[in-house]
Structure 1
């Protein structure tokens, strides 16, 4: 059985969100609209907007996909803000195939903003099918399936303060059996504080099963 692995701890995430906040403070104007993609954006976006030193309006969109990686997407919640002649920052939890981001970016452009910038916590560029551009990414990763900090499995784990890599097949099997062994490991691992000291020590600590 492949053990879950701590990919990004809470302190590493917080540091990167601070950096993104500085970047975005330099490129966004007062009055910009931050549009989050529900539900995976929520923890990331909540932390991010508090680091952006601009007056912002916040709005959300939601999507429904008919089949994974199919590119068939339906908008289930649209923005209520007036985006015309304003900068827009579109915030995702993860970008992989690019279907969602491409769909949303084109949809928001139809609202006549001055600019649409894109930001994601995780950019899984190795899975890209459409050549979409991510303007600001927290982390670029080629990990398979991850949970935590907004990212879920059957609606669970979004509230975790860290991002944990898991074996999806094993997690699905445990979910079907109603077992909680792996879930308990994930919860313990996500709450672990990194060990201070050398980078090697911190990396080693992150790989020890919880």
Structure 2
């Protein structure tokens, strides 16, 4: 991948949601999260690397006590299709007896998110909530539903606001679909 290819991918992509639309969705997510979690002293887990940007934007909108940690589990590793789940970092805070909020960038097939939620439950979490900036609309999720969803899209390859295309374009100021994917 070279910079010319990255720039061409961005210039040819379809903008599904611009920055203003994404920010409005983050506002709505934060309001819903606040309603549910404001008195629960949650441990918020940011799923690396994709959730760095949505989590950063969400956390500044949540005005209640919480602790923040991260988890790094991935199936993509810079590729455009998922493989085997690879646990790189587990949370450093104890999960037992805690209310957990997992923030991820996207709910596609849900394999990674489901495994992270199962890990939290196995560690004794009291409640486990999930938040995703984007949920793809298709029937491959095996019934998995996120508790908080910002935006919904068709089943295309997306980038921007944390989601990448071959390791690039996570910082694109909107949600884009790669042309032809």
TM-score (norm 2): 0.84
Q: Which has the higher helix share?
A: 1
Whose relative contact order is higher, 1 or 2, with alpha carbons under 8 Å and at least 6 apart? 2
Contact 1:44–1:150 (8 Å) recurs in 2: yes
Give the 3-state SS of the residue equivalent to 2:46 in structure 1.
strand
Q: Does 1:44 align with 2:54?
A: yes
Determine which of 59, 68, 87 is the counterpart of 1:58. Answer: 68
The structure 2 residue matched to 1:142, chosen from 138, 146, 154, is 154
Q: Counterparts of 1:57 and 1:122 in 2: how far apart (Å)?
A: 24
Q: CA deviation at 1:30?
A: 4.6
Q: Which runs of structure 2 are paired with 1:15-164 in the superposition (5 Å)?
A: 15-28=24-37, 29-65=39-75, 68-70=81-83, 72-126=84-138, 128-164=140-176
Q: What is the number of equivalent residue pairs in this alignment?
A: 168
What is the distance in 2 between the residues matched to 1:144 and 1:7? 10
Partner of 1:10: 19
Larger gyration radius, structure 1 or structure 2: 1
Deviation track 1:20-66 (CA, whole Å, cap 9, x = no partner) reads: 11111111135211111111101100010111121111111112438
Question: 5+ residue gaps in structure 2?
Answer: 1-10
Say whether the 8 Å CA contact 2:135–2:153 is kept in structure 1: yes
Work out the CA distance in 2 between the residues paired with 1:79 and 1:20: 23
Tell me the residue number matched to 2:178: 166
Q: Deviations over 1:124-158 (max 9, x none)?
A: 13152422121110011114111111111121111
Give the conservation status (yes or no) of the 8 Å contact 2:74–2:112.
no
